[in-house]
Amino acid sequence: MERPAWAPPGIDISVPSVSRIYDYYLGGSHNFEVDREAARKAMEFVPGLPKIMQANRAVMRRVVRYAVSEGVTQFLDIGSGIPTFGNVHEVAQEASPGARVVYVDHDPVAVAHSQAVLEGNENAGIAGADLRKPHEILGSPEVARLLDLERPVALLLVSVLHFIEDADDPQSAVAELAAALAPGSLILVTHAAYDGIPVPKEQVGGVVGVYSDISNPLVMRTREEIARFFDGFELVEPGLVSMGNWRPDTPAVQEDPYAFSGFAGVGRKA
């Protein structure tokens, strides 16, 4: 197996990674054959997976613009993955040139590629850390350098919580991060669920199986379970809804049915 020049030394390119599979779904080029193979296997069960990922990215961009319109210009994007076109810093800094962004990911490829993309951008940085260890994120040099936690921050948890099993207590991790944020801060959660996916639940179970096989369990949660991540936040209109229905730019009826999979919601800290 040939190692691409952009792959950081020490990366095991025989093991698939969630962030590189996501990059493949989005049409990116920072993935290996092993990632593409896993993605194709998952798409045999749910052919619309790339559309679901695109809907995820689209809601993230709408929320970033919403945050700026509400005067929130600091962003903490956890589980940020490999930067592809239209990433948080691009959208935020286009809307507000002084906006500050800290990306966080534990995949070394995502971290290395983010460093390359962000070179020369004084107001954006990447921290190599894991959502399951919020104290490491909050204590990271990038957060200290770029974010003023005395002022509102938009915490972005896009397509990441469903990769954390209940045994790892994602609820407490989110609560610990939330506790560090100033009043007026926002939280965005997008999360996989069986709801809205236009194929039978058994077929979606095939995708869950693919992720289990690569030791990255995909945890499908109910709307009620996802709503608990907003403890301490007040949901803003339209509440916790399918991704395609969160303040769409164009009438939602024009969207691909897969865009209405899973849930998205934004909360404001009182």
Q: What is the pLDDT of residues 88-141, one digit of tens each?
A: 999 999 999 999 999 999 988 899 889 988 999 999 999 999 999 999 999 999
Q: Is 224 helix (H, G, I), strand (E, B) or coil?
A: helix
Q: 18-269, superfamily in CATH?
A: Vaccinia Virus protein VP39 (3.40.50.150)
Per-residue pLDDT, 251: 75
What helix, strand, coil percent values describe the chain, rounded to 5? Answer: 45, 15, 40
Asked if residue 2 has pLDDT above 70, the reply is no
Tokens read off for 74:
């600091």
User: Could you report the per-residue pLDDT of 150-167, keeping only the tens digit for each?
Assistant: 999 999 999 999 999 999
Q: Is 181 helix (H, G, I), strand (E, B) or coil?
A: coil
pTM: 0.94
Asked if residue 252 has pLDDT above 80, the reply is no
| Spatial separation of the C-alpha atoms in residues 45 and 93, rounded to whole Å | 38
